[in-house]
Chains A and B, each alone.
Chain A
Amino acid sequence: MTGIHQLLVSASRGDAVTDAAFAARQVLELVGPSKIGARYWDRALDGEVLGLDELCAVADAGDALIYHASIGEPGFVEFVQSWDGPVILQYHNMTPAAFFQEVDQTFAVRLTEGRLELAQLLGRVDASIAPSSFNAEELARLGYQDVRVVPLILDVQGLVDTEPTPSTMHHLAVSEGPVLFFLGQTLPHKRPDLLIRAYHLLVTYHRPDARLVMAGPPRVPAYAEHLGRMIFELNLPGCWLAGQVTRSDVVAFYRSATAFVTASEHEGVCLPLIEAMGFGVPVIARACTAIPETLGGAGLLLPDDAGPALMCEAMLAVIEDHDLHQDLVRAGRERLAQLRPEVAGAGLLAALADVL
C-alpha cells in the first residue's frame, strides 16, 4: 500500500506547522503508512519524528511525500528532488523578508532562501496545496499551477478541553476588568506596537480597568525588549507581555479573555483566530493578507490601515456592546463548524486522491 509521509524542517509541539502535520498524519494513516521526518525536533518528540535518513529507510519506493515549506533549509531541495515517489508541496507561507531586514538578518536570508527553494522545486513537485487562497496565490506568483486550497486540520477541541493553569486563571480573575488577549510571536509584522498604542488610548480615555495580555515566543529578544520599554514609558501596568507560555497558560488566557485582538499585517492563516472562536471569544482584527479569509465573516474586521484610535473604538465596542459581543461569539461558533477536522481531513484526502 502506498505510504504518504511528511517532511518538515523542524518540529516542536505547539508550533502550527508541526501540529498540522500530526493532525494530518491521523488522516493519512487511514490510507497507508505515514511517518513524519524533520531535521530538527524537540526531545519531547523523540520516536515520533524521524531524521531524514530514517525517513528514507522506512519509506518504500513510490511512497508520496508532503513537504511542508515554511522556511529555507540547506539540503532540503536536494532531498525532495531525490525522493523516489510523488511529491506534494504544502506551502505554509513565508513572511516577507523585508519585515526582518532590520531586526534579524539571518532569519531574513533564510526566508528569502526559502522562496528561492520554492522556485527550484517547481519542476519536481507533482501537486501543491496551501491552507489559504492567500498562500495559494503567493505560490501561483512563483509559477506554480493548480494550487489547491486545503484547510489545515485543526484540533481546536483538544485545546478547549485542556485544563488551564489555575494560578494564571486566578491572576486574571482578581480584578474584574475586561481582558484583551493577543497570541503570536513577538515580531514586527504582528504589529504588537499598534496593539499597545490602541490599548493606551483605551485605558486613558475609556476603560482604566482593561488589561492587555500579549503571549508568544519573542523570536527577536531585542524587539521584545523595545516593547517592554514602550509599555514601561507609557505607564501601562495592565499590559502584560507574557512571552513564551505553556499550553495550559494559553488556555487560561483564552478562557479569561473578553476579546481576542490582533493588529497583524501578515498572516498566511492565523490559527489563534480560530482557536479564539473555539473558546467563544470574539475576534477583532485588521483585514490584512489571509485574515479576512480565515475569519470567514466571523469577527470584527477593521480596514487594513486601521490606526490605534479605531482599534481602541473597536475594543471598547466589543467590551461594552453586549449584543455585538454575543453576535461575534455566535458567528465564531458557526465559522468553526465549517472548519471541523473531519471536513478538513476529507479535503486533504480528496486533494491527494487527485494526485496519487
Chain B
Amino acid sequence: MRAARRPLRLARPGGVRYARSSVPEDSRDIVVARLKERLEERKQSGLYPQEMLEQLDAYGREIAPALAPPPDYVAPLRSMSDGVASQHFDAHYETASRVPGGSRFHDTIAKLQSRLADRLVAQLSAFATSVAVTLDGVVTALEHPAAHEHHDVENHLAALRTRVSAVDNAARLGTSTDIIARLERLEAAERARDFRPFFSNSAFEDAFRGSQDELQAHYAPLAERLEGPVLDIGCGQGFFLHLLHERGVEASGVELDAELASIAVAEGLNVKHGDGLAALEAVEDGSLGAIVLLQVIEHLSAQQLCDLVLLASTKLRPGGVLAAETVNPQSLYVYTHAFFLDPTHTTPVHPLYLHFLCVQGGFTNADIEFASPVPEEEVLPAEGGELAARANALLFAPQDYLLFARR
C-alpha cells in the first residue's frame, strides 16, 4: 500500500528560476501575486498534477475530520437579537394630574423612566445574545459524545442543566426550547446505559452470595475489629450491621438498591436508600470510627474509587478504619467463578493499587489481607511439586482480599 501511494519524485525543473530581484518595501502583495502567477505557469507546464493534489487532499481529509469551518452560530442569533434591540418599547405613562403643576412633574418622571427602561432593554438584549451564542456552542459540542467519555459527558450535562436553569431569561430566547430539548435527548441517551434488571437484587444475592447466616459467619471476625460509629456503604440487607449491633457498636448503612434497603429498614436497622459517596459526603468530617465496603468497590469507576478513598480519609477520625473487601484480581479462579457472575461489576481493583491509593490519600497504615481460599478439592495436589505450587499461586490464589487502612 505504501509503495502504491508513493508519488514519483521528479527531477528539479530548470525552467523557472528566481532572479535576484530587489524587493521594495510594502510590496509583499506583489510578491504574493507573483507567486500565484508562477504557480499557474508551473501547473501549465505539468508540475503539481491535479491528481497528486487531490491525493494529498484526501490524506488531509482522512486525518483531520474536524477541519470543517466552525458553524456560524452568531449570525442567526445576532439577527434575532437585533430584532429584539430594534423593537420600540413604548411605555405609556399617565401624565394627567389634578394637582397644579402635577402634569409637568409626571411628564418629567415619565421621561426619566423611559430612558431607564431603554437602557435596561439594551442590557437585557446584550446579555441574551451572549447567552444564546454560548449555549448553542455548548450543545453543539455535546451532540457528538464519544462513548469512552461517558462519565465526563454525564458530569458536564448535569452542570449544564444547572447553568441553563440558572440563567433566568434563557426561557425567553427563541432557541432555548431547542437547546433544552437537545439536552434532554442527551440525558435520555445517557440514561439508556442504566442497568435495570427485572429480577430483584435480594434474589440475586440469595442465589450467588450466600445466605445471611453464611455471610454473618464469614464477616464476624471483621466486626470484632471495628469501633463505632460505623458507616456500611452498600450494606445490602444489613447482615453486617446486625453483627455490629450484637457487639454494641453504633452503626448505620446506605444501600443503592431500594428493595434491599427497605428490607434492612423493616428489620429495624438504620439504613438509608441512596448513593454511598453522597451519603459519605454528608457525614461530619472526622466523625466516623470505621467505613466498611464489602464487595462494593469493584462496582465503582476509577474516579469514584479515587473520590471514595479521599473522602473516607476526611470523614474518619484519627485512628479510624477503612475496611474494603473485594475480589482478588491476582487469582484467575476469580474470573471463572465470581467476577463475571455479577453483571454490574465494573473493574477489578488490584490490591497494590488500592494500597497505593490509601497511602496517597493520607492513610497512615494500610494492610492487605487475603481471604476466601479456593476450595481444597479445586487446588492442584501438593505432590505436583514446585510446578503445581507455582500454578496454584497463579490460578488458585485467595478469591478475596480485605483492605484494612487506618487513618
A residues near B, CB below 8 A?
Answer: 74, 96-103, 105-106, 108-109, 111-113, 115-116, 118-119, 122, 141-143, 188, 191, 193-194, 197, 200-201, 203-208, 223, 226-227, 229-230, 232-235, 265, 297, 299-303, 307-310, 312-314, 316-317, 320-324, 327, 331
Contact = CB atoms under 8 A, between A and B. Distances in A.
Contacts of A208: 9, 12
Contacts of A223: 63-64
Contacts of B211: none
Interface stretch (B127-135, B219-227, B268-276, B396-404): B127-135
Given A112-B137, A205-B12, A143 B56 contact: no
B9 to A, nearest CB: 5
Q: Which 9 A-B pairs have the closest CB atoms?
A: A98-B70, A226-B63, A102-B66, A96-B70, A119-B130, A143-B130, A116-B134, A143-B126, A108-B141
Nearest to B19: A321
B153 A105 contact: yes
A233 B2 contact: yes
A331 B28 CA distance: 11
20 contacts: A96-B137, A97-B70, A98-B68, A98-B140, A102-B65, A109-B156, A119-B131, A119-B133, A119-B134, A122-B126, A141-B74, A142-B130, A208-B12, A223-B63, A223-B64, A230-B59, A265-B67, A297-B28, A299-B28, A316-B18
Contacts of B129: 143
Given A96-B70, A112-B141, A324-B23, A193 B12 contact: no
B6 A235 contact: yes
A116 B12 contact: no
Interface stretch (B142-150, B190-198, B300-308): B142-150
Contacts of A321: 18, 20-21, 23
B210 interface: no
B35 A310 contact: yes
A201 B48 contact: yes
Contact of A115 (B57, B71, B134, B163): B134
B382 interface: no
Given A300-B28, A301-B32, A327 B23 contact: yes
Interface string B106-139: 0000000000000000000011011101110110
A99 B70 CA distance: 7
B207 interface: no
A236 to B, nearest CB: 10
Nearest to A94: B137
Nearest to A303: B32
Q: Which of A119, A191, A201, A308 gathers the greatest number of chain B CB atoms within 10 Å? A: A119
B31 interface: yes
Contacts of B59: 193, 197, 230, 233-234
A188 B66 contact: yes
Contacts of B152: 105-106, 109
Main secondary structure of the interface of B (DSSP, over half): helix
A101 B2 CA distance: 30
Given A204-B9, A205-B48, A300 B31 contact: yes
B303 to A, nearest CB: 13
B240 to A, nearest CB: 36
A116 B2 contact: no
Interface string B30-60: 0110011011001100011000010011011
B10 interface: yes
Contacts of B18: 316-317, 320-321
A302 B39 CA distance: 13
Contacts of B100: none
Contacts of B126: 122, 143
Given A119-B130, A301-B28, A205 B66 contact: no
Contact of B149 (A105, A206, A234): A105
B25 interface: yes
A316 B34 CA distance: 13
B65 A314 contact: no
B120 to A, nearest CB: 13
A203 B12 CA distance: 9
Contact of A113 (B8, B20, B28, B138): B138
Contacts of A99: 66-67, 70
